[in-house]
Structure 1
Amino acid sequence: MGDDDLDEEVEFWGLLYLDPLLELRLLTAEPSARAELAPGTRPPGEALTAAALSLAGDAGLRRLLDAAGIGEDFAAAVAAVLTTPDCRHFMRSPAAETEAAALARAFVAESVRRRAGSEGTAQAFDGTARDEAVARIAALLPGTAPAPDEAGTHRGPVTRRVRRLAGRLAVGLASAQAVRRRSALTDAAHPAAGDVLLYLSRGTAIREAVAEAVRAAEPPVVLLAHSLGGIASLDLLVLQPLPEVALLVTVGSQAPFLYELGALPSLEHGSPLPPQVPRWLNVYDRRDLLSYVGEGVFPGRVRDVPLDSRQPFPLSHGAYWSNPDLYRLLAEEMP
């Protein structure tokens, strides 16, 4: 899948997280989906509904859902989707015979929406794990299932039309979506912003707690820090020598941004990193609006490593921890 296609997929999932039933409504609006069933034909949704209600009993699916971070919410999400008028309309349409993957995506999107809403912050949802769960669900449901590597995406003649229509809807409803998403984005960014403000006012105690943990560990120490933790860790290493630390790994961090603003407590903008700062890997996701690259502001002192969670923001800010690429990187780089 090319970058443009991948971006399109991520944006489509972003729409599904806001409205898990969107694809089902678009499919039932297709001309082919409005065709009348032959007399005496049972609606395809009857078998589909029965199979959907038994999904939670599949051990393989449970493992995939847990890996995707949504196992606890899946059964409730399935029940919620199945009882909506939009889903009942889909179940009575011919689209239900061939678009089981769309129903699978609705179940997963509703699960993610519930989990993110209950926690109030971006969770560790990885796009690959999500798509594997969708593929398993689609395989367990009756109907024409896509290839396993395509179930989490929106391909095929019908789904391509759905995606184009969804794109037009997204453009036409941009202002409305922006208003709806503003609260979600603000809610997601607010904890990080609040943490940074707290750190800037009370950073000494936070840095000292990190320093004590480093001194108590057996060297060589790898300092692995996410978001605000990256700011505190870099500050600590700039302010005092900690020879025990052999590697600093920041993940989704705002430290380079604060440095550019002149707001990093330990280092004025324009001042170089002192030699005592160890080797530094800075992991970021271009879809994570709270992660910043550092090579441009600290040339020769930091290596930026891009990861792609295939999740829209704000989920992308927490999705590093369910991305196998992060752990492969750590295994390769740890001293």
Structure 2
Amino acid sequence: MTTVLFVHGTGVREPGYTASLERVREGIAAVRPEVAVAPCYWGGSAGSDLRAGGLSVPGYGSGRAAPGAEGDAGDVEFWGLLYLDPLLELRLLASEPGGRTELAPGAAPPGEGLRAAAVALAGDDALRGPLDAAGIGGEFAAAVAAVLTSPDCRDFLRSPVADAEPDALARAFTAEAVRRTAERAAAPPAFDGAARDAVVERITALLPGDGAGAHRGPVTRRVGKLAGRLVLGLASAQAVKRRSALTDAAHPAAGDVLLYLARGEAIREAVATAVAAAEPPVVVLAHSLGGIASLDLLVLRALPEVALLVTVGSQAPFLYELGALPSLEHGAPLPPHVPPWINVYDRRDLLSYLGAGIFPGRVRDVEVDGRQPFPLAHSAYWGNPELYRLLAAELP
């Protein structure tokens, strides 16, 4: 009796595996009721785990950020928004109640002295050192010119709050210089936050005005609300505070991949043990990382009881092309003992790849359409009748 061995992919744990296994059993029973479906659950015994209880993760299990992370979280979020929009703070300040006024004919704008001093910043020798230390010296002059000529900055300089907020202008210049430097860099620059803050302090000291702005509190609160609506990834305060939960959610999937590429023997051995326990002929139906492990096993070891390999949403061809497939260097052919191989993919599944061009004559690619967006497309195969119609025709 033919046995289909269902090998799961990365990050799968119970009870999720059993639910998927039952879905596969129902799908195959509908088209080939005489075929048995056997489990190969390697996630519990060979999958990744926080083996030291999360000791490597700052603040893990406490529900709080690591020491020192909460105190400057708001400032980090604030800079994150300024890097995206260097004029944001100036725009918010100018829009504060009473922030915009009509000038009398011939009257100088409130921020005229601030503007004049800002024009001279690029030539200040004392500022050159901090700018270079922050990595933004090459773009600073252009950044100052861009900010000063923007409509948002002109509105800010015309507002009564301008003289009380020279540090806001300093942050705008600095953020624009960072943005321009990062945009022109071939690789992500290693900007130092302390050096950046030193630049802001030096610019503020060179500008006329009252020093640290009185409006920073309300503006920061408004920016904080905007930050809450943006995805700032692990830089956001909430993500830092929720790092334990994020780690628990993400580490099985990422950890399984890293563990397999570093030490994949245990996962391959779990598949081999399941193959040996199944009644032949065996069809290995393997998803995602399970497809990589199954192919590696069949390359490294001749298993004549395996009559067919079916990979679903697998990255095995991509790893081979990268030269990262553990069992086979790029350019080496599949060994003759590798059984017939069908590779199922969905164009909407961005983790599925093609094998026919990589292994000519040894792999047949079959496209299915789960009608789901990514990432749901990566797990939609098991509910897709197309997959089972394909298996009905191909199973021994």
Q: Structure 1-normalised TM-score?
A: 0.49
Q: Structure 2-normalised TM-score?
A: 0.42
Greater RCO, CA 8 A, separation 6+ = 2
Larger radius of gyration: 2
